[in-house]
């Protein structure tokens, strides 16, 4: 790859439709196409994860401390020993034809586990069912700070049924938070196409089934901001494309 441009030679591969688990989340829309994989890293001093104060508004100790006897670390910047960045949303931003893509049969799920949202970052398709679940023995709420889709704020006491939504418009980097537990945050992207992925703990991502064409690929992270690169796909093969965030990216993102 030269200056953010990669070319993929022609070889055919066949992939099944599907949706992987968060951490390597990607939805396949075509049986034939290219696989684009890579790693996202942070080029700078490894950020130290802060310990979360498990207190509610007003300073009262939260019942969440019973689920975390050894404490709980902030997840806004999870960077590995070699700079690998977790929870980066990587997707095709430009270049796809305007068309309809099959929806996944399974819903996208946001779970509340041990006073954290799981997954931290995920993609959900326009028209796909979005399920909100509370697996904890205490009450939470799910507040969506969306703009293009209608915002919502749903209380979920323990042992109550799942709540469900379907989004009708594409929307990027929508924050979800729990008003009862200030540290609980997550982000979702509402996508019109299936060509996206979320990096795992090793910073790895994989997008499958990409048709031939010229694309702009974007990597988004809640603390490091956005990076993009150009990609040329010729027929079907696999290619590695990597992103690197810097301290300047982090500083720029913090001022937005």
Residue 42 domain-assigned (yes or no): no
**Token pair in block for residue 31:** 């049986």
- Residue 149's domain comprises 48-80+102-192
CA 19 to chain centre: 13
Of the candidates 55, 49, 53, the residue with the CA atom closest to the CA atom of residue 71: 53
Over residues 68-80, mean pLDDT: 94
The tally of domains found in the chain comes to 1
Location of structure tokens 């080029």: 43
pLDDT band at 235 (very low <50, low <70, confident <90, very high): confident
- What confidence tier does 13 reach under pLDDT thresholds 50, 70, 90? very low
Residue 56 domain flag: yes
Q: What CATH number has the domain bearing residue 153?
A: 2.60.40.420
Over residues 185-197, mean pLDDT = 99
**Has residue 129 been placed in a domain?**
yes
The answer to whether residue 7 is domain-embedded is: no
Asked if pLDDT for residue 115 goes beyond 60, the answer is yes
The two structure tokens encoding residue 79: 């960077």
What pLDDT, in 10s, does the model give residues 41-52?
Answer: 999 999 999 999
Q: What is the pLDDT of residue 153?
A: 98
Count of alpha carbons within 13 angstroms of residue 34, beta-carbon side: 25
Would you tell me how many other CB atoms lie within 10 Å of the CB of residue 207?
27
């Amino acid at each position: 790859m030269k200056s953010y441009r990669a070319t993929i030679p022609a070889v055919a591969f066949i992939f099944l439709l599907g949706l992987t688990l968060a951490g390597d989340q990607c939805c396949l829309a075509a049986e034939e196409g290219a696989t684009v994989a890579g790693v996202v890293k942070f080029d700078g001093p490894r950020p130290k994860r802060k310990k979360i104060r498990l207190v509610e508004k007003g300073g009262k100790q939260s019942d969440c401390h019973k689920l975390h006897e050894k404490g709980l670390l902030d997840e806004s910047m999870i960077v590995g020993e070699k700079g690998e960045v977790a929870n980066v949303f990587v997707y095709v931003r430009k270049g796809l034809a305007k068309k309809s893509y099959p929806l996944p049969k399974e819903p996208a799920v946001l779970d509340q586990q041990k006073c954290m949202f799981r997954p931290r970052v995920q993609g959900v398709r326009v028209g796909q069912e979005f399920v909100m679940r509370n697996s904890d023995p205490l009450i939470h709420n799910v507040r969506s700070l969306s703009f293009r889709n209608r915002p919502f704020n749903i209380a979920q006491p323990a042992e109550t049924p799942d709540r469900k939504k379907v989004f009708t418009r594409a929307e990027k980097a929508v924050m979800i938070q729990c008003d009862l537990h200030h540290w609980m945050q997550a982000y979702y992207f509402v996508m019109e196409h299936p060509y996206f992925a979320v990096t795992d703990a090793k910073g790895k991502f994989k997008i499958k089934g990409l048709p031939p064409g010229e694309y702009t690929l974007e990597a988004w992270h809640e603390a490091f901001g956005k990076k993009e690169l150009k990609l040329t796909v010729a027929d079907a093969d696999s290619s590695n494309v990597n992103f690197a965030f810097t301290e300047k990216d982090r500083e720029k993102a913090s001022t937005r």
